[in-house]
Amino acid sequence: MPHKDYVKASRPKAKPARGRGRANAKAAAPGSKPWLLLIVTAGLIAGFVYFLWFLNQQPAVSTAAEKPAAKPVKTDELPAKPTQEPYQYIKELENKQVTVEVTEQPQSTGPYQMQCGSFREQKQAEAMKAQIAFVGFSSEIRRTEGNNGVWYRVVLGPYESKRQATADRNRLRQQSINTCQIWNWS
Q: Tell me the average pLDDT across 125-132.
A: 96
181 in helix, strand or coil? strand
133 located within any domain: yes
Q: Each residue of 38-96: pLDDT tens digit? A: 999 999 999 999 999 998 888 877 665 556 666 766 676 787 777 777 777 777 888 88
CATH number of 119's domain: 3.30.70.1070
100 located within any domain: no
24 located within any domain: no
What is the spatial distance between Cα 181 and Cα 186, in angstroms, rounded to a whole number? Answer: 15
Q: Each residue of 96-122: pLDDT tens digit? A: 888 888 888 766 556 899 999 999 999
Q: Which domain holds residue 157?
A: 112-184
141 located within any domain: yes
155 located within any domain: yes
User: Distance of alpha carbon 8 from its chain centroid, rounded?
Assistant: 57
127 located within any domain: yes
Q: Specify the number of domains making up the chain.
A: 1
Q: Cα separations (Å) of 1 from 4, 7, 8, 66, 138?
A: 9, 18, 18, 86, 81
117 located within any domain: yes
Does the predicted model carry a pTM greater than 0.75? no
175 located within any domain: yes
134 in helix, strand or coil? helix
Q: How confident is the model at residue 10 (pLDDT cuts 50, 70, 90)?
A: low
